[in-house]
Amino acid sequence: MAQLTILGAGSWGSALAMVLAENGHEVTLWSHNEYHAQMMQETRQNTRYLEQLTFPENVTITADLATAVRDAALINFVVPTKAIRQVAQQIKPYLKDKRTDEWPIIMHSSKGLEQKTYLRISEVLTEELNLTEEHPVVVLSGPSHAEEVANHDVTAITAASQSLEAAERVQQYFMTDDFRVYTNRDVIGVETGGALKNIIALGAGILAGTGYGDNAKAALVTRGLAEISRLGIAVGADPLTFMGLSGVGDLIVTATSSHSRNWRAGYQIGQGAPIDTVEEQMGMVVEGMATTIAGYEVAQKLHVEMPITTAIYEVITEQTTPQAAIQQLMRRDKKGEVHFTDLQSVLTPLEQDKGE
């Protein structure tokens, strides 16, 4: 059995460590917090992030990055997006030579876009670890609340990579009777869907917190998917990916569930909580806040129309209220409902714009 490493001991890193361990692998779970690592190693629990889980014996928890990384056959980044570049820089000294057979699979299971550069996480890892086409990143993404995975509820998820072989190895490592993994080649689509759905989940929470009902939720999710797809296609994704687990699947699970930290943060905002306190109150990462900023900025840069993202951006930057933002969305010019198959023709003029 292989030696596999998870970097990041929050809720998702802990749940994924459990999945790998249940498949019989030797798993190392790394936390950057020495005290937290020691507590988890001693008590076999992660009471701070995922209390229902008991770590199997074959999970070792450490705060020592060299130990975590040196002999790993797979390194899975599961830290918040804002920490990805820093953690990649930290592991560099401990990685083996790329020319040897011992080079690990580099993968991530996080969801977001880097602030200011708007890079996807695989692009940050490729940049920092000088990865080549021979060693492409694998992305694990899809509808998967950590709590439900820890409870052995049934989950289906996607492993995407430019290398089908690498994606299939990840599929092999993770797949269990209640954790089903599909492979996919569209890394851009899978990462873009995973990142942008958090914006819409935040919006769905805001709607619920403000008092709107199911019609509004369905409208938001459906039109949200249209704009996620529009931006995704503009950056090179396959439109069909947004119909899959990492697209509509993850959007449904996040925008309709109170498990979702993004939905809950939105709900608090809709209820009138001060926006600058919402993330801290959650005590866990709320990726949608930063992704809304990045998503809005990149849409502006690429001239992609994203009215819902713009409305949520204006709410979280306190330029408008949820009620005023919803009114503004409803009073936009009359439109036809553009189908996904038509999106490419809609985008062609935008593509030309980009080239100017």
Ligand X SMILES: O=C(CO)COP(=O)(O)O
Q: Which residues are catalytic?
A: 197
Query: What burial class does residue 322 get, using C-beta atoms within 10 Å of its C-beta: 0-12 exposed, 13-18 middle, 19+ buried?
Result: buried
- What is the full DSSP assignment across 181-216? EEEES-HHHHHHHHHHHHHHHHHHHHHHHHT--HHH
Q: Are 192 and 232 in contact (CB under 8 A)?
A: yes
Nearer to ligand X, 36 or 111 (CB): 111
Q: Within 77-96, which residues bind ligand NDP (CB under 6 A)? A: 78-81, 83, 86-87
DSSP state of 79: S
Q: Within 1-40, which residues bind ligand NDP (CB under 6 A)? A: 8-13, 31-33, 36
Element (H, E) at 218: helix 214-234
Q: Within 126-155, which residues bind ligand X (CB under 6 A)? A: 143-145
Least spacing, CB of residue 65 vs ligand NDP, in Å: 10
Cβ neighbours of 73 (radius 10 Å): 17
The answer to the question of residue 230 lying near ligand X (CB under 6 A) is: no
Site size toward ligand NDP, by CB under 6 A: 28
Selected binder of ligand X within 250, 278, 313, 343 (CB under 6 A)? 250
x/- binding map, residues 257-296, to ligand X, per CB under 6 A? ---xxx------------------------x---------
Contacts of 246 (CB under 8 A, 6+ apart): 141, 142, 157, 158, 160, 184, 189, 190, 193, 194
Q: Using CB distances below 5 to 8 A depending on partner kind, what does residue 250 bind out of ligand X, ligand NDP, none?
A: ligand X
Among the residue ranges 24-32, 162-170, 213-221, 248-256, the one whose residues contact ligand X (CB under 6 A): 248-256
Among the residue ranges 19-27, 104-112, 127-135, 201-209, the one whose residues contact ligand NDP (CB under 6 A): 104-112
Nearer to ligand NDP, 280 or 356 (CB): 280
The partner residues of 234 in beta bridges, in order of sequence, read: none
Distance CA 88, CA 30 (A): 13
